[in-house]
Homo-oligomer: A and B are copies of this chain.
Amino acid sequence: MAKDRRQMIIQAATKSFSLFGYKATTMDQVAKLANVGKGTIYTFFKNKEELFNEIVTELIKEMKATAEASFDENLSFYENANRALFQILAFRKEHQLTIKLFQEEREIGTPAVLEFMERLEQTVVNYIKNILQTAIDKGEIKQCNPEITAFVMLKLYIALIFDWEQSRKPLEKDEISKLFELYIFKGLSNR
């Protein structure tokens, strides 16, 4: 039962963060869930925030892996970007930990959680940026600032998936995909 204590602690903390968020998770709670003394946690992690960082760093890695897994060399830039963003935002919606943290960001604004969100956004933007750079180099898309473009693509996706359904009927997956193509890729112009 008490084999790899470090793993037990991470498991327990993940569970608690997912259920209660960062702020409402106590170290006593984690210790109890992990079946270790509280002091033991501090032999593996400097403090609560580092324990949290360990977990969310892993989460971000997983998200990146999911996005990368959906990448297909033979598909167009647009197809790949669309897939990547969709995977990432689907991940957000499906994993209890990210759901809880998004809620905590909005409702409490816990600094550690805000930092995580920034890191997450930066990671996504960087990933899309790479896809963009490749497409630019291949001449598949116009010259453009990859950082700003990646940023805009992410914001567009968030607008279509999250913001739109704040007040209107949610859009279907392939509707979103079509709109994404229209706005960012093809452009509205007829000339």
Contact partner, A188, options B118, B144, B164, B190, Cβ 8 Å: B144
- In the complex, what's the smallest C-beta–C-beta distance from A158 to chain B, in angstroms? 8
Q: Is the CB of A164 within 8 A of B151?
A: yes
> Is A184 located at the chain interface by the 8 A CB criterion?
yes
> Is A65 located at the chain interface by the 8 A CB criterion?
no
Given A152-B159, A155-B163, A156-B156, A188:B185 Cβ within 8 A:
yes
Q: How many copies does the complex hold?
A: 2
- In the complex, what's the smallest C-beta–C-beta distance from A150 to chain B, in angstroms? 12
Q: Is the CB of B159 within 8 A of A190?
A: no
- In the complex, what's the smallest C-beta–C-beta distance from A65 to chain B, in angstroms? 25
Given A156-B156, A160-B152, A187-B189, A182:B144 Cβ within 8 A:
yes
Complex: chain B residue closest to A140, CB-CB: B190
Docked CA distance A140–B108 (Å): 46
- Which of A155, A159, A164, A189 has its CB near the most chain B CB atoms (within 10 A)? A189
Cβ contacts A163-174/B at 8 Å (1 or 0 each): 110010001000
Additional pairs, 8, CB under 8 Å, beyond known A78-B189, A142-B189, A151-B163: A118-B167, A139-B190, A142-B182, A152-B156, A152-B159, A156-B159, A187-B187, A187-B189
